A and B are shown apart, each in its own frame.
Chain A
Amino acid sequence: MSSRWIWRLLAIPGLVWLAVFFVVAFYAIISVGFGNVTTLYEPVPHWNPLDWNVGYIWQAITNVLPGGDTWDTFLRTIIYVVVAVILSLAIGYPVAWYAARHAGRWRGLILVLLVLPFWISYLMRMFAWTNLLAEHGYATRLLHALSIDTLFQKIGLLDGTDWLGGQHIAVIMALVYGYVPYLILPLFAALDRIDQRHIEAARDLGASPAGAFWRVVVPLSKTGMLAGIVLIALPMFGDYYTPDLISGSPKTAILGNAINGYVQGGPDKSLGAALTLLMSAFLLVFMIYYLRVVRADQREMAQHA
């Protein structure tokens, strides 16, 4: 009796599930994006590629090009994500480095505290900031007591006094706050794996501490760092709830808000689907990169096992 069928049989339900609800669902976006609408603006998907209508895709493309409706939003999204990722690295790298290398007897506790945000709902963490950044909130008062609000007003980072009223800086900091835990963990794993002897060897061979760090530690942690960056950048592109909760103003709307507005709000579901497709195409590069890193990692783990 062939033992093969039993393994196939085990895999089939899960694979069918993924095929139907993941692959076909993605195809539904394509079909609607290349589809048409009824007279009531309800989307009519065109499942057959031969019937595809490129009108909405074309509209979405011209919208994200300079001068189009979504161009500002697109540009803002890129700026927010880039700034938020850089700030996340600036915060996350020292923290991951300390936890992996120097925490000593505090290591266990620090790790638990670094993982704790994963167990707190993202929406609750954002909601917590709406309490603190409200007009008489503690964060508002603290920032005022430290004169940070007047400083930010002077250098143009804060417009008015309402932190929750469409401030770029508030939304970017909220993104950092929301996603930095997801960067720290892969960074920690990468830094934890570095053999201390490599650093010692570099120092013995005459490298300065900074030289050893830049030329040994950073290159050795590069894969983990890039994987972490992709891991936080991807959900930031699909985020719309953070700007909604922290600002709610069209001044801070990003691509996620645009898509959400089209698909859930108005009569332009087909345009929303087309915009989703454009964004997915743009993000595909990062997704493939991340999958390759993960697979290489799995292979390495399998070899060690």
Chain B
Amino acid sequence: MSTTAPSVQAPAVPRTATWRERISNPWGRPRFLAITTWLYILWSLLPVLLAIRFAFNSGRSRTSLQGWSLRWFWEDPTLSVFNDPTLQQALKHSIELALIVMVVAMPLGTALALGMRRWIGPGSGVANIVLLLPLVTPELVFAVGMFLLFTTAFGFIGLGTTAQAIGQVTFTLSWVVLIIRGRLATIGKDVEEAAADLGAPPMHVVGRVLLPLLVPAMAASLLVAFALSIDDFVVSQYLASGADTTTVPMRIYSQARGGPTPALNALATIMLLVSLLALVLAYVVFRALTRGEQSDRGSAFKQLATDLG
């Protein structure tokens, strides 16, 4: 048996590696790492998949499986997402806010990124730091500041939808600028300089040369603004004024520990579907927009991934 073994083995593997070699050889197949990674992925996604599954329960339990139904989406006459005004209101308000934030943050951020690029001089350093600070400020600090601002000096705006939208736009703005700026860096300055050399006034350099090239990044930043707004909890909560300014994350927060029905799972599931739908839509749009630039398949995704930072 020991004499036949070598002839059976493939020539590329002269002997079986010890487990020590297996885990430490940088060229080998690292099983330990593979197992860790897949276990991690399972751990990170399974709870959410189960939460989605509970949304389809026919019973009231959110802790064990009880058949399949759409009861918590619309069939239940009082408790389902479709028939419970508080849940429906949260869904509507979340989407409404996300649309406002998207539409305001994208143009504002694009203009800012374009302007900052050519702004060399006193103040540009400070402006750059102020631009990056929202990315690292803990959301709570930011929310407390906004809350105090809107309840004191800016009392004329007050709390509510407007304040929530302003708050979300403010921290979304920096992300938009980063995305546009990344794209501007890959475009390079040659294109604008060529246009200017050929006699194009600055307005045309921006309008006819840069903006068309920036469209994919603008689409990506719309998506990011939408996603950041949908996911936001702290700012929306601090700047909310009452029941009609409750968003989905706020609804989850206030009901999660109070014996909720699977309708809350259903609400979260719908929200997740909305953001995945936005992602797919953005991907399709992005691919259509960048078709001319890259021919190989999958490059649009890579470009989108790089544009998203």
Interface residues of A, Cβ cutoff 8 Å to B: 1, 3-4, 6-15, 17-19, 21-26, 28-29, 31-32, 43-45, 47, 91, 94-95, 97-99, 101-103, 108, 110, 113-114, 116-132, 134-139, 164, 177, 180-181, 199, 203, 208-210, 212-213, 230-231, 234-235, 237-241, 244-245, 248, 256, 259-260, 263-264, 269, 272-273, 276, 279-280, 283, 286-287, 290-291, 294-295, 301-302, 305
Number of A-B contacts (CB under 8 A): 286
**Which 10 A-B residue pairings sit nearest by Cβ, starting from the closest?**
A11-B115, A238-B138, A14-B112, A10-B115, A238-B140, A25-B145, A209-B24, A128-B51, A7-B118, A98-B33
Within 8 A of A (CB), among B267-309: 268, 271-272, 275-276, 279, 298
- Does B131 sit at the interface, judged by CB under 8 A? yes
Tell me whether A28 and B264 are in contact in the complex, defined as CB-CB below 8 angstroms, given that A98-B34, A119-B276 are known contacts: no
Q: Number of B residues whose C-beta is below 8 Å from A?
A: 95
Decide: B132 and A294 in contact? CB cutoff 8 A. yes
Decide: B48 and A125 in contact? CB cutoff 8 A. yes
- Does B19 sit at the interface, judged by CB under 8 A? no
Tell me whether A127 and B256 are in contact in the complex, defined as CB-CB below 8 angstroms, given that A11-B111, A28-B149 are known contacts: yes
The CA of A203 and the CA of B141, in the complex, are separated in Å by 48
A272's partner among B40, B144, B167 (CB-CB below 8 A) is B144
Decide: B112 and A11 in contact? CB cutoff 8 A. yes
Decide: A138 and B50 in contact? CB cutoff 8 A. yes
The CA of A125 and the CA of B275, in the complex, are separated in Å by 14
Decide: A25 and B142 in contact? CB cutoff 8 A. yes
B224 to chain A, nearest CB (A): 10
- Does B265 sit at the interface, judged by CB under 8 A? yes
The CA of A134 and the CA of B62, in the complex, are separated in Å by 9
Interface string of B42-60 (1 = CB under 8 A from A): 0111011011001000000
- Does B41 sit at the interface, judged by CB under 8 A? yes
Decide: A98 and B170 in contact? CB cutoff 8 A. no
Decide: B37 and A99 in contact? CB cutoff 8 A. yes
Tell me whether A121 and B272 are in contact in the complex, defined as CB-CB below 8 angstroms, given that A264-B238, A305-B186 are known contacts: yes
The CA of A241 and the CA of B37, in the complex, are separated in Å by 28
A85 to chain B, nearest CB (A): 15
The segment from B6-14, B71-79, B198-206, B214-222 found at the interface with A is: B198-206
- Does B25 sit at the interface, judged by CB under 8 A? yes
Q: What residues of chain A lie closer than 8 Å to B170, measured between beta carbons?
A: 17-18, 21-22, 25
Tell me whether A128 and B47 are in contact in the complex, defined as CB-CB below 8 angstroms, given that A21-B167, A94-B37, A123-B249 are known contacts: yes
The CA of A99 and the CA of B41, in the complex, are separated in Å by 11
Q: What residues of chain B lie closer than 8 Å to A245, measured between beta carbons?
A: 253, 256-257
The CA of A130 and the CA of B203, in the complex, are separated in Å by 55
Taking A276-B141, A283-B141 as known contacts, 17 extra A-B pairs with beta carbons closer than 8 A to each other, sorted by chain A number, are A7-B119, A18-B130, A25-B170, A29-B145, A102-B33, A110-B41, A114-B41, A116-B45, A120-B275, A124-B252, A125-B48, A131-B265, A138-B50, A238-B138, A295-B132, A305-B185, A305-B188
- Does B234 sit at the interface, judged by CB under 8 A? yes
Residue on B nearest A277 in the bound complex, by CB: B141
Tell me whether A45 and B152 are in contact in the complex, defined as CB-CB below 8 angstroms, given that A11-B112, A181-B44, A248-B257 are known contacts: yes
Q: What residues of chain B lie closer than 8 Å to A102, measured between beta carbons?
A: 29-30, 33-34
Decide: A122 and B45 in contact? CB cutoff 8 A. no
- Does B97 sit at the interface, judged by CB under 8 A? no
Decide: B248 and A25 in contact? CB cutoff 8 A. no
Interface centre among A1, A135, A238 (most CB of B within 10 A): A238
A290 to chain B, nearest CB (A): 5
The CA of A276 and the CA of B146, in the complex, are separated in Å by 13
Tell me whether A17 and B108 are in contact in the complex, defined as CB-CB below 8 angstroms, given that A25-B145, A305-B185 are known contacts: yes
